């Protein structure tokens, strides 16, 4: 059977027949925190000239919507540190119901007090907020910034604005491990979902990731000594497996890139702030969309670049943290790729 759709409008389907419908679009690699598991203290950020303009990001997003991308998550770095980023959010928000089903955002929460109402007014209804501890001293140690009060104020502002909040918590051995039950309880008391994530070996950091890696199988065993975890059919389009916690009445997600590979049903691609499309978070396979956008035939070049991306998207990532001194799976940091 042949399709009468042109390459510029045909749905994105990879070599394993996975339909790609979810774009994680980084709008900056810059961040106002310096989380110890994510980047070094003296992080070198990209020259601004290398980063796509807001107009280019908008054109790129529209091109993806035409190819069947129905969900876009804006990421960074920290997306809310980019000047005038709300112009992009408002422009994309106008496409909700017109090819785009959902526009979401991942943020560290430091600037939510300023932007929560604006995000809601622009059509955003759900956000992810990274939060690894409720202990102020530990937060300052982990992020190298004393910003927990601003994050908590931002979460309150998001809740008041009507945004649905999901906390993302990286489980760190010996750091926040004892606090995880308290953090889950607090999140559910606030009406927030929460997802625990295994640390990912992306980019060089000062610590050895063997010392940071906490398998979520261990965490789940501990939590099931406290609570009743009932598998949930809830899905958000991402890789988390969800459970309903009977005693708290809330929802808990687990993302296990190391202990339980979840790539079989992957529907995601990532584009960096410089326009590099990474077909897999844990892989080096990439195509240059910036060059396509700036070519003499942007539509044709973009269609060809996306065809290449579908051919090179791998079956799965190959993360591992199993010995001291191990090199990261990829040299680039998460803030460069986009979370």
Domain CATH number, residue 86: 3.20.20.70
Q: Is the pLDDT of residue 171 over 70?
A: yes
Q: Is the pLDDT of residue 320 over 60?
A: no
338 annotated among ligand-binding-site residues: no
Residue found by looking up tokens 């190959």 in the block: 318
Domain contains 5? no
166 annotated among ligand-binding-site residues: yes
Average pLDDT over residues 7-15: 83
107 annotated among ligand-binding-site residues: no
Residue found by looking up tokens 């598991």 in the block: 37
Spatial contact of 174 and 201, defined as CB atoms under 8 Å apart = no
269 annotated among ligand-binding-site residues: yes
- Which range, of 70-79, 223-232, 260-269, 328-337, averages the lowest pLDDT? 328-337
- At 324 the pLDDT is 47
Phi, psi of 168 (to 5 degrees): -110, 120
Q: Residue 261 is part of which domain span?
A: 22-337
Structural domains in the chain (count): 1
Spatial contact of 54 and 5, defined as CB atoms under 8 Å apart = no
State how far the alpha carbon of 77 is from the alpha carbons of 49, 191, 236, 337, in Å: 17, 26, 21, 9
130 annotated among ligand-binding-site residues: yes
77 annotated among ligand-binding-site residues: yes
pLDDT grade, residue 236 (50/70/90)?
confident
268 annotated among ligand-binding-site residues: yes
Q: What is d(CA 169, CA 240) in angstroms, rounded to the nearest whole number? A: 12
| 32: Cα separation from own chain's centroid | 17
Domain contains 17? no
209 annotated among ligand-binding-site residues: no
Average pLDDT over residues 251-263: 74
270 annotated among ligand-binding-site residues: yes
pLDDT digits over 73-109, tens only? Answer: 999 889 999 999 999 999 999 999 999 999 999 999 9
Question: Whole-prediction pTM value?
Answer: 0.86
280 annotated among ligand-binding-site residues: yes
Q: What is d(CA 290, CA 52) in angstroms, rounded to the nearest whole number? A: 7
* Percent of the chain clearing pLDDT 90 (strictly above): 63
Q: What is d(CA 37, CA 40) in angstroms, rounded to the nearest whole number? A: 8
E strand map for the chain: 22-26, 71-75, 102-107, 126-130, 164-171, 193-198, 229-231, 241-245, 250-255, 268-271, 276-278, 286-288
Phi, psi of 95 (to 5 degrees): -90, -5
Domain contains 277? yes
Instruction: Tell which wins on pLDDT, 27 or 334.
Output: 27
pLDDT digits over 111-144, tens only? Answer: 999 999 999 999 999 999 999 999 999 999 989 9
Instruction: Tell which wins on pLDDT, 241 or 41.
Output: 241
332 annotated among ligand-binding-site residues: no
State how far the alpha carbon of 21 is from the alpha carbons of 76, 129, 178, in Å: 20, 22, 37
- At 58 the pLDDT is 96
Task: Identify whether 77 is preceded by a cis peptide bond (ω within 30 of 0).
Answer: yes
pLDDT digits over 139-167, tens only? Answer: 999 899 999 999 999 999 999 999 999 99
22 annotated among ligand-binding-site residues: no
Domain contains 3? no
- At 279 the pLDDT is 81
Domain contains 128? yes
Domain contains 253? yes
Residue 287 makes CB contacts below 8 A (sequence gap 6+) with: 276, 277, 279, 305, 306, 308, 309, 312
Average pLDDT over residues 271-289: 84
Domain contains 4? no
Average pLDDT over all residues of the chain = 86
Average pLDDT over residues 50-70: 95
- At 61 the pLDDT is 96
- Which range, of 173-187, 212-226, 256-270, 319-333, averages the lowest pLDDT? 319-333
- At 176 the pLDDT is 93
Q: Is the pLDDT of residue 262 over 60?
A: no
- At 127 the pLDDT is 98
pLDDT grade, residue 214 (50/70/90)?
confident
- At 207 the pLDDT is 58
pLDDT digits over 175-195, tens only? Answer: 899 999 999 999 999 999 999
Domain contains 205? yes
């Amino acid at each position: 059977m042949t399709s009468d759709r042109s390459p510029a409008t045909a749905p994105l389907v990879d070599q394993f027949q996975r339909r790609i419908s979810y774009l994680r679009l980084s709008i900056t690699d810059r961040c106002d925190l310096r989380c110890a598991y994510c980047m070094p203290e003296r992080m070198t950020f990209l020259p601004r000239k290398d980063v796509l303009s807001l107009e280019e990001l908008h054109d790129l997003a529209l091109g993806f919507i035409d190819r069947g991308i129905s969900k876009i998550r804006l990421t960074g770095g920290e997306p809310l540190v980019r000047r005038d980023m709300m112009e992009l959010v408002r422009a994309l928000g106008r496409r909700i119901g017109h090819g785009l089903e959902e526009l979401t955002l991942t943020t560290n929460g430091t600037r939510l007090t300023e932007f929560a109402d604006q995000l809601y007014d622009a059509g955003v209804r759900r956000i992810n907020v990274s939060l690894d501890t409720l202990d102020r001293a530990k937060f300052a140690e982990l992020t190298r910034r004393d910003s927990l009060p601003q994050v908590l104020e931002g979460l309150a502002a998001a809740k008041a604005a009507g945004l649905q909040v999901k906390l993302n918590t990286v489980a760190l051995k010996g750091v926040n491990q004892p606090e995880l039950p308290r953090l889950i309880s607090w999140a559910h008391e606030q009406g927030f979902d929460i997802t625990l994530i295994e640390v990912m070996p992306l980019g060089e950091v000062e610590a050895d990731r063997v010392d940071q890696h906490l398998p979520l199988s261990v965490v789940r065993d501990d939590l099931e000594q406290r609570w009743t975890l009932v598998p949930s059919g809830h899905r958000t389009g991402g890789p988390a497996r969800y459970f309903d916690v009977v005693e708290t009445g809330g929802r808990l997600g687990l993302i296990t890139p190391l202990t339980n590979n979840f790539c079989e049903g992957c529907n995601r691609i990532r584009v960096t702030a410089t326009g590099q499309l990474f077909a897999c978070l844990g892989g080096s396979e990439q195509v240059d969309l910036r060059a396509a956008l700036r070519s003499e035939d942007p539509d044709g070049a973009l269609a060809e670049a996306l065809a290449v991306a579908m051919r090179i998207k791998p079956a799965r990532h190959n993360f591992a943290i199993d010995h001291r001194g191990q090199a990261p799976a990829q040299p680039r940091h998460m803030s460069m790729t986009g979370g």
